[in-house]
Structure 1
Amino acid sequence: MSASAPSFVLPRPFLKWAGGKTRLIGQYQPYFPKKFKTYYEPFLGGGAVFFYLAQQHPSLQAVLTDINPELINAYCCVRDQVEELILLLFEHQSEHSKDNKEYYYSVRSRTYKTDLEKAARLIYLNRTCYNGLYRENSKGEFNVPIGRYKNPNICQPDLLRSVSSLLAPAQIEVRKFDRVLDFATSGEDFVYFDPPYYPISSTSDFTAYSRENFKQAEQIQLRDVFAELAERGVKVMLSNSNCDFIEKIYSDSEGFKRERIPKLIEISASRGINSNSCKRGKVKELLICSLSINT
């Protein structure tokens, strides 16, 4: 094989994403349903659960959605125009190597017109910004500072090609999470929610992942969507903070019929982002599963 020949790389998240689930798949695996036809992920983010399930279920029908149009555009471009996207990313990589700080902030402040240019910008910023955070100000402008990377891997052509193949049959759209109620209706459907986590301290509030915050009212609305799906027999799984508020709303018979109250499972996770370095490390999260999850 020549040095320039493409090599096969297992599909995995092509974006760094705060709260990504790649390292937790092993703990989630026992709770994934064995049989289902259509998979829905309404808070797509890095998509780690999708990438795992799609490789375990080759005929998987997937509906991948998120409220963030920049994120969804990036996924669509990886799926539909991967070779053109790779060329743009190589250009970013070349320019970044000349003067990384000046180039980073020029790209961050620039407005791009085409979908491909916007997708390349998002991936470039994601690979070079601080901790792979996605954060917008009130004007919808990406405002994360540059990270401290000596040689960031901006363009990963083999990974992008393998991801493109896996995404090929997927339906990918900008959509609010509650729209899943229009589509998931039976035990043949599996929905995994990975919302912005409910903050457990003032330094862990990363709910403003877009211009729209995700506070208590939205968490309760999400609980109600979970309950409605569970009532229909849909297989539902949700990740969130291990805190009194989340535990209460998912253990409360006011939100669920008593016989439908879901299972709450403690998961051990690593926290890599906190303004206080002493608070980084192992934390407990909740994995919340409808009672139909293993039927």
Structure 2
Amino acid sequence: MGADTNGELVNFFGQSATHGQDIVAILRSLHDDRDTYLQVRDWSPPTDVERAARFAFLNRTGYFGLYRTNQKGRYNVPYGGGGRLNLDTFAKGMGELEEVMRRVSVEHVDYLDLMARVTGGDVVFLDPPYGASGDYPFRRYGSLLFSPSDHRRLAAEAERCRRLGAKIYITLPTDPSLLRLYQGWTVVGERRRGNQLVEVCLTHEPTGCRDMVSSGQWRVPAQVKIVDESEDAPLTGTDF
């Protein structure tokens, strides 16, 4: 089971379970150019299938694949340039997604509602908005921003579920103000930009998934100073 507060994303996953190729057919009728993009961006589809196709088109043609809305909930990402709407590859991926989504449910609810159902033995993956110190531009999404207090609440919920016996994974940027909330957790996945570490995947105990990492597992230290092992130099908060 999954959950997200983006209703358009949840609708896309729901429609992909039964109407994946209908989504592909709609996309094949659209051109990957700025004028078409702006028309689709302003489109208010009358059906859920068309909503799903609009979401997919904007995801593949908008800047950086972002889904960002203004305070009124209006999608406002600029055109990202051609070349990413490979429909043959997309159609193949939709066929695979259709099979997966027939076995999975995704709900349009807040993460706290879903985490309230967690029990011992569950596996929980969390990919929260990063907030003001996120990695990429356009990092503040929607009318409801994920604030520092939201991150503190998330960390408390992750700890509560851990104590229940659930296995927790969470992705975060290498921002000391956020990593401080997970002191002692184990880094099991990394993403780098060049030699600089920009994002990590954390869990609360060591794991056998060493193929996820580029420089071995390590724990978030008490002083929250992240070390880039390729340079043998500490990355402090000012480096991020």
User: TM-score w.r.t. structure 1 length?
Assistant: 0.64
Distance 1:78 1:91, change over 3 A: same
- Structure 2 contact 115–157 (Cα < 8 Å) conserved: yes
1:159 is aligned to 2:86: no
Aligned to 1:174: 108
Q: Which runs of 5+ in 1 are unaligned?
A: 1-62, 252-261, 272-279
Aligned to 1:240: 172
Aligned to 1:220: 152
Amino acid at match of 2:11: N
1:186 is aligned to 2:100: no
Q: Distance in 1 between matches of 2:133 and 2:69?
A: 21
Of structures 1 and 2, the one scoring higher in RCO (CA 8 A, sep 6+) is 1
From 67, 71, 75, the counterpart of 2:5: 67
User: Over aligned residue pairs, what C-alpha RMSD do you find?
Assistant: 2.4
- Structure 2 contact 172–179 (Cα < 8 Å) conserved: no
- Structure 1 contact 130–144 (Cα < 8 Å) conserved: yes
User: After the TM superposition, which segments of 4 or more aligned residues of structure 1 sit over 6 Å from their partners?
Assistant: none
Q: Identity percentage over the alignment?
A: 25
1:195 is aligned to 2:128: yes
Aligned positions of 1:109-188 closer than 5 A: 109-150=42-83, 152-154=85-87, 156-187=90-121
Q: Which runs of 5+ in 2 are unaligned?
A: 209-240
1:89 is aligned to 2:23: no
Distance 1:178 1:150, change over 3 A: closer
- Structure 1 contact 242–266 (Cα < 8 Å) conserved: no
Amino acid at match of 1:263: W
Q: How many residues align?
A: 207
- Structure 2 contact 70–141 (Cα < 8 Å) conserved: no
1:268 is aligned to 2:193: no
